[in-house]
Chains A and B, each alone.
Chain A
Amino acid sequence: MSENQTFALEVRDIVKRFPGVLANDHVNFNLRKGEVHALLGENGAGKTTLMNIIYGLYHPDEGEIFVNGRKVTIDSPHDAIRLGIGMVHQHFMLVPVFTVAENLILGAEPTKGLSLDLKAARQAVVDLSQRYALEVEPDAIIEDLPVGVQQRVEILKALYREAKVLVLDEPTAVLTPQEVEELFVIMRQLTERGVSIIFITHKLKEVLTIADRITVMRRGRVVGTVRPQEVDEAKLAAMMVGREVVLQVEKSPAEPGEPVLQVRDLVVEDERHLIAVDHVNLEVRRGEVVGVAGVQGNGQTELAEALTGLRPIREGQMLLGGKAVPPRNPRYLIEHGMAHIPEDRQKHGLVLSYTIADNLVLCTYYKPPFARGLQRNQAAIVENAEKLVQQFDVRTPSIFTTAGSLSGGNQQKVIVAREFSRPVDLLIANQPTRGLDVGSIEYIHKRIVQMRDQGAGVLLISAELDEIMSLADRIAVMFRGKIVATVKAEEVNREQLGLLMAGSPASEVLGQPQPAA
């Protein structure tokens, strides 16, 4: 690299304070033209904050920003977009009731005379999605789409605005391995065309695969910048967390007891009343972890929502602890020992405007000690929060901070802490470690295994093959709404799982006919 090269983007000595938090502490960071620069760091390290500053959403308290060597002030996303900076947020910023095409053009609408040119917008979606092999239906309504597809729309949106610097804040958190590979192909294509990419992720493998350089942050500071050739996963993890991290889950063989969840011939519809879960049979016993593997959008979301009472069951039966459950009654399920880590933490899992303390009693607020008669018991709520925040290492200045101002990973920790804080017979965990840093994943995996060993049944739904492989005792593969195979974890390998998830018949992949469930 030449000495006086200009960076596509450079920030110098950025400081950003929030009440009680130094989110960015004299951060220096630069991005070369056409590189993929990964930004790593534990939950709450300040990555999203830095990106929000670059994108004009926050004003830095101190520091300077340079684009192509020129000093700039970015007061709003509008400025950022004009400077060629595009961002895909950790939590999507799409208008849920608009179509894909409408979302794409929002803020940069093509017009014909005075009216919106929606036809041009649709065409743009088709063109872009063809060019980058990002498949989306231009007329689909965003809220009907699975998270994985919503994210493609976010990427398309930035591309539509001809971003030269693209910030991807944990884009892979919601993607399946295949989709991640596709994304990497896209990223490569983009960098070849001179786009520079800042890529935030918690997945060390991905960083080592795609990044040209890696910058690690911890507690608001840059710890260092390295090249992937110089490090390995363990080293990166240690840099991030400041200690050695056990990347492999340690667990003893399962000792399954009586069934705690039995599902028979379950049929569930999606928003458009199409069959999303198609005669599924499933059993989870005490003391075992059953993993549901599958490519996003094959009915896992609907399955989890039906089992947790959030979505009507059209046909079939669900038994909890041997007893049939009343329809659509989350309260009954909670009272009968079910805990649920929902897939979409901001939609179901949290009330963002509430304090951490309130969120931690969201499911138990009406019971002693959190309620005394009609009244809420503030002291107990506070005490509970102090305890859980400490136990689960939620990084926050106070338990009175609103959940909405926590970093994404810390929001997830609040949910996990809440769901683990009551006696549980059955845990339904849908993407439980999405967005968590390696240290926190280690901790939550340990807790899940511990829960299993204490006799709870766990239904783990995860797009993360690694997570399924390392936690599950039995694995059910879901494809197009059906459970196509159920196998013991030790009897299957990654490749076989991958094939099953892609729809290859179980008899071919596994060599012998498989009984369903």
Chain B
Amino acid sequence: MAEKTTQNPQGWWPQMKRLLLSFSVPLGAVLLALIIGAIIIEVSGASAWKAYTALAKGAFGNAAGWQRTLEKSTPLIFSGLAVAFAFKAGLFNIGAQGQLLFGAITAAWVGFAVHGLPPGLHAAVALAAGAVAGGLYGAIPGALKTYTGAHEVITTIMLNYIAMGFTDYLANGPLKDTTPGNIVARTPAILDSAKLPTWGWLPFGFVLALIGAGFAWWLLQRTTLGFEIRTVGQNPHAARYAGMKVARTVILTMVISALFAGIGGAVETQGVVGRYEPGFNANLGFDGITVALLGKTNPFGVIPAAMLLGAMRAGSNVMQFKAHVAQEITDVVQALMLFFVAADMIVRWLLRIRAAEEGEKITLSTGWGSH
């Protein structure tokens, strides 16, 4: 959170130091979570060292491992970006999950139902459709907040349920895969022309995610729109005083945030799953919250945070196989990470991190002023 728009050209090192310092809490949280995870593994009679090395091998040991890790990280980067972006305007977008589902199913629909487009274009159209679907779904809580004052935390949670129910219905009804013998809820497979390529071990979606992070950073730090978004997040009163359209900014922020989530879903469909099938997208949006918090709501911080979670998923199979530790331990470790970043103070106290860390603080759930 130490980033500034007008960077001091002279003092890059103090800036760097502050940036690193500002990541001390997430790093501490990861460390504590791993330690507690190790204790649990040991208590349950296995070797924590063996488990963790197997996990790391599974995630980074060979090209296949890397590919798995990057594939798993990709949607998490997008959903992390969605949450982090909204944070900057002081909005807590818990609805990334629902927005991601709409992105995923829309991309799938365009992917299987639209015929005759050349490969690159088809993929691009499907991606764009996924993004727009997610974005529009994000406009709803933004508009509700603006026009009725309904808090986005509540509305996005409820909209998640609607999205889950509705996409389930689509995958089971109008868009169901009617291949003889299919009994599960899923759409038909998308055409090859809509698929995203993988270059060796490098999935194209991951590259898109990196570009997305760069774009989010640029938008927030370098553009006038980003300045408005951050001002609304930091001090809505001052934003209004300065003539910024707070209501418009709130809606726009939600839409952009949801666009990221929507693309995340589309990339998962087009790059990994190859169709829409509900189980594959479970929790990807919710985990965006963990990713965003671990990344200190910094678009570039989101990348390593997502990769950490992605690696744990990619390597957990190997861990279970080699060290005989149940895969679910990674869920426990992830939950602990979330707990510790959220409980900022505990980590500071345990690791004696100085509280004198300045810069843009995110204040959540403050109203952005009365009408």
Contact = CB atoms under 8 A, between A and B. Distances in A.
Interface string A485-508: 000000000000000000000000
A349 B6 CA distance: 19
A358 B221 CA distance: 11
A381 B241 contact: no
Given A371-B224, A374-B225, A375-B223, A357 B6 contact: yes
Interface in B60-115: none
B233 to A, nearest CB: 10
A73 interface: no
Contacts of A308: 241
Given A330-B240, A365-B224, A398 B235 contact: no
Nearest to B367: A97
A309 B235 CA distance: 17
A348 B237 contact: yes
Interface string B229-242: 00100110110111
A363 B147 CA distance: 25
Contacts of A342: 241
Interface in B1-39: 4-9, 11, 14
A402 B358 contact: yes
Contacts, number: 96
Residue among A333, A353, A376, A405 having the largest count of chain B Cβ atoms under 10 Å: A353
A402 B359 contact: yes
Contacts of B225: 374
Contacts of A362: 231, 238, 241-242
Given A358-B5, A363-B242, A363-B243, A353 B223 contact: no
Interface in B203-239: 222-225, 227, 231, 234-235, 237-238
Contacts of A399: 6
B238 A349 contact: yes
Given A357-B6, A402-B358, A352 B235 contact: yes
A351 B238 contact: yes
A376 B224 contact: yes
B361 interface: yes
B192 interface: no
Contact of B6 (A335, A351, A352, A355): A355
A205 interface: no
A123 B201 CA distance: 72
Contacts of B243: 309, 329-335, 363
A361 to B, nearest CB: 9
A350 interface: yes
A334 B245 CA distance: 13
Contacts of B241: 308, 310, 330, 340, 342, 348-349, 362
A331 B245 CA distance: 9
A19 interface: yes
Contacts of B360: 353-354
A308 B240 CA distance: 10
Interface in A373-422: 374-376, 378, 381-382, 385, 398-400, 402, 404-405
B224 A375 contact: yes
Given A362-B231, A375-B223, A348 B11 contact: no
Range, interface on chain B: 20 to 34
Interface in B344-366: 358-361
A347 interface: yes
Contacts of A371: 224
Interface in A317-348: 329-335, 340, 342, 347-348
A366 interface: yes
Contacts of A402: 358-359
B242 A330 contact: yes
A402 B7 CA distance: 12
A362 B239 CA distance: 8
Contacts of A376: 5, 222-224, 227
A19 B9 CA distance: 16
A308 B238 CA distance: 13
Contacts of A334: 242-243
Range, interface on chain A: 35 or more
Nearest to A312: B371
A94 to B, nearest CB: 15
Nearest to B11: A400
Contact of B8 (A331, A354, A400, A404): A400
Contact of A351 (B8, B9, B235): B235
Contacts of A354: 4-5, 231, 234, 360
A380 to B, nearest CB: 10
Nearest to A371: B224
Contacts of B4: 354-355, 358, 400
Given A358-B227, A376-B224, A382 B6 contact: yes
A374 B225 CA distance: 7
A376 B244 CA distance: 15
A342 B227 CA distance: 21
A332 B244 CA distance: 11
B361 A358 contact: no
B144 to A, nearest CB: 21
A357 B242 CA distance: 15
Nearest to A331: B243
B66 to A, nearest CB: 35
Contacts of B361: 353
Nearest to B4: A355
Nearest to A385: B6
Residue among A310, A340, A351, A404 having the largest count of chain B Cβ atoms under 10 Å: A351
Contacts of A348: 237-238, 240-241
A68 to B, nearest CB: 30
A413 to B, nearest CB: 17
A385 B9 CA distance: 14
B246 to A, nearest CB: 10
Contacts of A382: 6, 9
B227 A365 contact: yes
A385 B5 CA distance: 14
Contacts of B358: 402, 404-405
Nearest to B218: A375
Interface string B123-162: 0000000000000000000000000000000000000000
A320 to B, nearest CB: 14
Contacts of B237: 347-348
Interface in B223-274: 223-225, 227, 231, 234-235, 237-238, 240-245
Contacts of B240: 310, 330, 348
Nearest to B9: A382
Nearest to A58: B356
Contact of A381 (B6, B14, B231, B359): B6
Residue among B7, B8, B238 having the largest count of chain A Cβ atoms under 10 Å: B238
Contacts of A398: 8
Contacts of B5: 354-355, 358, 376, 378
A334 B225 CA distance: 18
Contacts of A358: 4-6, 227
A442 to B, nearest CB: 27
Interface in B317-371: 358-361, 370
Query: Top 3 nearest A-B pairs by Cβ distance?
Result: A331-B243, A400-B8, A348-B241
29 contacts: A19-B14, A310-B240, A329-B243, A330-B242, A331-B244, A333-B243, A334-B242, A335-B243, A347-B237, A347-B238, A348-B238, A348-B240, A348-B241, A350-B238, A353-B234, A354-B231, A354-B360, A355-B4, A355-B6, A358-B4, A358-B5, A362-B231, A362-B238, A363-B242, A374-B224, A375-B222, A378-B5, A400-B7, A402-B358
Given A355-B6, A365-B224, 9 more contacts: A271-B370, A329-B243, A330-B241, A352-B235, A354-B234, A362-B238, A376-B223, A378-B5, A398-B8
